[in-house]
Chains A and B, each alone.
Chain A
Amino acid sequence: MNAIVSIKNLHKAYDSGFVALRGVDLDIAEGEILALLGPNGAGKTTLISTVCGITVPTAGKIMVGGHDTVTDYRAARSLIGLVPQEINLEPFETVENTVSFSRGLFGKKKDPARVAEVLKMLSLDDKAKSKIKELSGGMKRRVLIAKALAHEPRVLFLDEPTAGVDVELRKDMWNVVADLKAHGVTIILTTHYIEEAEAIADRVGIISKGEILLVQNKDEMMSQMGRKELRVDLVEPVETIPDALMKYDLVLAPNGRAVTYTYDTRAERTGIRTVLNDLDAAGLRMADLQTQQSSLEEIFTTLVKEQSA
């Protein structure tokens, strides 16, 4: 993998003594979209802040585009755009000035055309001259994104970009992300919406209590780790599951017209054939069959529970 961001054994202890990151190792490939999922307080923001230079690592090493973020911070930070979790903006400034300021701060020459382009991309072009305090919450969040994009970063960190954003706008934002990816920008986003990770990420990382529990290709993760359900619709409803089928832990639908069998795709034998044979032998006639993959959400909940146990 050609890693544009490489994090090795990263530890972060805050001044209060609280340890927010415990040995994080993470490589992010150039051009990919990585979604970080984790419960509140897992350390997502801390991880992002440490890569971006807002907090200082206690131990470990971070490289961005081949530059160490501590010793060669200028080169490393020039490549990074950051959209923070909190909406932090100067209320009395205009959208245009705020975005231009960000560009200048990152050492890029003034370029009103580029600023206009970014505003357009985020549907803020008609708000360019408005003061920040006159914008709605969703617009402010887009201003934050515009600021992060103003200096044309190669790596973009989005810390919960769609928190408090309505469904339509969220879809818009996903399009923006897809657009950036098409331009070769690497994107790391945190989210609490699992469907968001499912919808846009190439890979998903799960973080909890300062540790990365799993990072995997999204599809692989779901097929490998996911449990599948086989639902069998019955021609004749039954009241109870016959004793001969008890060992399969089947779940009977309330109306008695379907049974569901859950199996692990990772297992050597899924047991589908024997279940079907035994159903037949028990005299249950099948009307239809369907399988369903469990969602990332379930995987996520299971993993986090396992860690606490």
Chain B
Amino acid sequence: MNWTAIRAIYVFEMARFFRTLTQSLISPVLSTSLYFVVFGTAIGSRIETVEDVSYGAFIVPGLIMLSVMTQATSNASFGIYFPKFIGTIYELLSAPVNFLEITLGYVGAAATKALFIGVIIFVTAFFFVDITVQHPFAMIAFLLMTCVSFALLGFIIGIWAGNFEQLQLIPLLVITPLVFLGGSFYSVTMLPPVWQTITMFNPVVYLISGFRWAFFGTADVPVAISLAAIAFFMAACMAAIWWIFRTGWRIRQ
């Protein structure tokens, strides 16, 4: 393993993040605060509790997930798309590094940024609602796995994208609906039976359910299944990336 190279990519990517730190953080913090005002306070005052948790607190895990997933995806996709766009990818392709090292560098940095934002939102939430976390280690583990798996997904999108429209289309077209329909703002058990079945095909359900279990100790699906689903998702992304680099798809002619 060329650890020096992994570190070089990671540090270089993180530098980009810190250069634009304020704009990286302001937007997620602002939008989360808006969600709390609209869902937590305005609508929440009429719902009161879901599964014995106040509605304001109930949506916290979903909100964190929403931001972390979109941020991890867009950071990683941008991170690898940008060198392709400005041509600096030549250097990665001519360096003594393999696909795993390139992926670890870029995905590691994107996941770190997303984690950062997740933590910031978690802290912001404390200003709006009372929350206690029942399984803190599990919470961190779920958060980390979500950051990594969506950064992997974003990495694939960045390699696939041929222009900036495509780069933004997938997060908008696929991830946002999956997250909203994945039970970020409600319990899946609140849906009619047919929709409950359909929802089970949405991978985000497992992530949010597991994450919410770490907070409140109640879950829509068993925690073990959540873990298995995340592991499967990560493995599928890694396999796709391995294939991409082996065939040179969209990067090496």
CB of A193 within 8 Å of the partner chain: no
Query: Contacts of A294 on B, CB cut-off 8 Å?
Result: none
Nearest B residue (CB) for A79: B96
Within 8 A of B (CB), among A136-175: 147
Query: Contacts of A14 on B, CB cut-off 8 Å?
Result: 253
CB of A189 within 8 Å of the partner chain: no
Query: Contacts of A86 on B, CB cut-off 8 Å?
Result: 87
Q: A104-B4, A105-B8, A105-B95 in contact; A56/B88 too (CB < 8 A)?
A: no
CB of A308 within 8 Å of the partner chain: no
Query: Contacts of A74 on B, CB cut-off 8 Å?
Result: 2, 96, 98
Query: Contacts of B5 on A, CB cut-off 8 Å?
Result: 104-107
Contact B4 A107 (CB under 8 A): yes
Chain A interfacial residues counted at CB < 8 A? 35
Contact A105 B252 (CB under 8 A): no
Contact B94 A82 (CB under 8 A): yes
Q: Once the chains are docked, how many angstroms separate the CA of A147 from the CA of B12?
A: 14
Q: Once the chains are docked, how many angstroms separate the CA of A216 from the CA of B92?
A: 33
CB of B15 within 8 Å of the partner chain: yes
Contact A54 B96 (CB under 8 A): no
Give chain A nearest CB distance to B220 CB in angstroms: 44
Interface of B is mostly: helix
CB of A134 within 8 Å of the partner chain: no
Contact A88 B96 (CB under 8 A): no
Query: Contacts of A105 on B, CB cut-off 8 Å?
Result: 5, 8-9, 91-92, 95, 97
CB of B248 within 8 Å of the partner chain: yes
Question: Can you pick out 28 interface pairs between chain A and chain B where the beta carbons lie within 8 Å of each other?
Answer: A52-B93, A53-B93, A54-B93, A54-B252, A54-B253, A56-B252, A56-B253, A74-B2, A74-B96, A74-B98, A75-B96, A76-B96, A77-B95, A82-B91, A86-B87, A88-B91, A92-B19, A93-B12, A97-B15, A102-B91, A104-B7, A104-B9, A105-B9, A105-B97, A106-B5, A107-B4, A107-B5, A107-B97
Q: A88-B88, A88-B90 are in contact. List 12 more A-B contacts (CB 8 A).
A: A54-B93, A54-B253, A74-B2, A74-B98, A84-B87, A90-B88, A91-B86, A92-B19, A104-B5, A104-B11, A106-B95, A107-B5
Cβ-closest 10 pairs across A and B? A104-B8, A88-B87, A52-B94, A77-B96, A74-B96, A105-B95, A54-B93, A78-B96, A101-B12, A55-B253
Could you tell me which A residues sit within 8 Å of B by CB distance? 14-15, 52-56, 73-78, 80, 82, 84, 86, 88-93, 97, 100-109, 147
